[in-house]
Amino acid sequence: MSNFQEKSDTKNPNKEGRKYLTSFQHKLLQQKLQEDLPESYRQRIQIMLLADEGKSQAEICRALGCSPATVRHWMHIARSGLAHQWQDCPIGRPKAVTQEYLARLKELVHNSPRDYGYSFERWTGSCLSKHLAKEFGVEVTAHHVNRLLKRMGLSTRSQTNNQDTNNQNANGNRILIDDLKSENTADSPGFFL
């Protein structure tokens, strides 16, 4: 018996001739193969089970008709003792933003964050991103949320139009540059002392 075999046998003595998987992992993967799974998930499991039987990368590639990179990756997962986490790497593109997501984003921007239990007064792209991730399970960066808002003609920044600023000016709350009168500064004794 080689030094490597002795170490692997002492690490997990109840392997029943298996190379990488624990009894629990082997049983779990066998059970999952019985379920109705997408073909790519089935392939992952089959790669790990064949590697556990001692099959080489080339043999597994031929048997399953998959790429050496795929076999190498899942053999590494099995060797690392992470075979029970085979579902942690999702297949395909990440979830996309839907019309329902966009409608909810629009609704949130038109309402105060305080209406949803937050202590702040104004939404930010980051806050919207986190809130929508909780609701929809779709993680979108704050930058992308701001881009989506811009496409919809919305913003998280408070917008003031000329009518509002004129009303504030009439109440004396704000001074506009338009209100300053053009005077001859040479006649004003206070400016150039």
Q: Which one, of 151, 36, 21, lies nearest residue 99 by Cα? A: 151
Rounded CA-CA distance 3/149 in Å is: 62
**Of 51, 85, 119, which closes a domain?**
85
One domain for residues 50 and 18? yes
Residue 146: domain span? 99-151
**Of 54, 85, 116, which closes a domain?**
85
Number of domains in the chain: 2
Rounded CA-CA distance 90/111 in Å is: 34
**Of 29, 54, 85, which closes a domain?**
85
One domain for residues 26 and 51? yes
For residue 84, the model assigns a pLDDT of: 79
Q: What is the pLDDT along the chain (193 residues), one digit of tens a residue?
A: 444 444 444 444 345 667 888 888 899 899 988 988 888 889 999 999 999 999 999 999 999 999 999 999 999 988 888 887 777 776 766 667 889 999 999 999 999 999 999 999 999 999 999 999 898 888 889 999 999 999 999 888 865 554 454 555 455 556 555 555 555 555 555 555 5
One domain for residues 112 and 72? no
The CA-to-CA distance between both ends of the chain, in Å, stands at 99
